[in-house]
Structures are given as C-alpha cells and as structure tokens.
Chain A
C-alpha cells in the first residue's frame, strides 16, 4: 500500500494478557516511530528506529513494553501483562530518513482496550 499500515485496527484483550501490534511502514522509509495516545490526550513518544542504529527507547513507560523492527521494515510493539492503563490508541509513523527536514507519515492507529 501507499501509506503506513497498522494492524489490527482494534484489539480488545483481557488484563494480564500479552498483545502484539504491527506496523508496516512506507516502503523505503528508514525511520519508524511509535506513539501512544490516551483518550483526549496528546501523543506520547514511545520508541524510534533509524536504519541500523540502536533504537531510542527513552519513551517506553515500563519494561512490559518492547518493540522490534525486523529487516529495517515491519515493526512490532509488544505489551506484556497488559494493564487497564495501557488502553489507548497506538500510532506508528515512518519517514524517508531521520533527517530533521523530513516529514513523517502516520498510520490510522490500533485502538487497544484492556478489560
């Protein structure tokens, strides 16, 4: 596809279960970002991948959160032992490079509900 694709679009899970959220960036984009947006709130930075460099994990809220980016393309955000406060929309974005004059393209997000 032409844009950033995220799956699933909606996920309902029970408290304590693990979930995996997927992001397919635009082909050829070397930079990939994950954000979290709780209801009525702003975007909270989670993690940033740029090429083969070590990811910037400074926004991950706890060690229950982790992310991988395989082959410089698809990324998976994993949340272990989900809690109700993890309920939010998780947004992924990609950009052609990580350079400061490059625009980022966002997916439509995955709405996670922990019950």
Chain B
C-alpha cells in the first residue's frame, strides 16, 4: 500500500487559515490523494480529493505539488468545529482505503 507521512499534531488559531501538510514520496502516477477527517466520537467524513491539479470545494482546498510527492490541505478560516484528526490517504490499485495515523488539529479560540 502507498504510504503517507503527516505531523502528529498541529495547532491553529480560530478564524485563521490552516495548512495541513502530507508527504507521499512513493506516489505512483495513478494514485489519487484523498483527505478525510474524523471529528470527536464520529465516523470519518470525506473532505476532498485530487490527482494532479489543485482542487477546491466548500470545505477546503487541496494543493498538490508539481512532482506530486506532497500535498497540503488548506482550511481557509478555521473554526472550533474543525478540530479533528485529518487523514491524508493515497488510493492505489488495491482499491481498499488504508488510514494512517493522521494529524490531530487543535483550534485555539
């Protein structure tokens, strides 16, 4: 399975942008980059995904490096509700979705 590396935890102030990094140096040409998050006591929820180009949706933006060996999830204006564990996942030929340890994001009021 393709692997990702994320910081264990990060902090950010409320109402400021948050940049969550992810390294995936072994990514192959057909792997999709997915982000999920898990709020306390809930199941994970999908955030965003991309292949090569940067992506935007109502929740976040995904910036993908030109060589695709890293990506950054951007929350434009963090709220307390965004405190969660954020998972960066590579979806490869195996089809199953494998979660790593993720980044625990703390939002400071």
A-to-B contact residues, CB < 8 Å: 4, 31, 33, 35, 42-43, 45, 48, 50, 56, 58-59, 91, 93, 98, 100-101, 103-109
| Interface residues, chain B, with chain A CB atoms under 8 Å away | 30-32, 34, 36, 42-46, 49, 51, 87, 91-92, 94-102
Q: Measured between C-beta atoms, what is the minimum distance from B100 to chain A in Å?
A: 7
Number of A-B contacts (CB under 8 A): 54
The answer to whether residues A100 and B30 also contact, given A45-B97, A45-B98 and a CB cut-off of 8 A, is yes
Classify the interface of chain B: helix, strand, loop or mixed: loop
A-B contact pairs, 16 of them (CB 8 A): A4-B43, A42-B99, A43-B87, A45-B98, A48-B95, A48-B96, A58-B96, A100-B92, A101-B49, A101-B51, A103-B34, A103-B46, A106-B43, A107-B43, A108-B42, A108-B43
Q: Does the CB pair B100–A42 fall under 8 Å?
A: yes
Are A106 and B45 touching (Cβ within 8 A)? yes
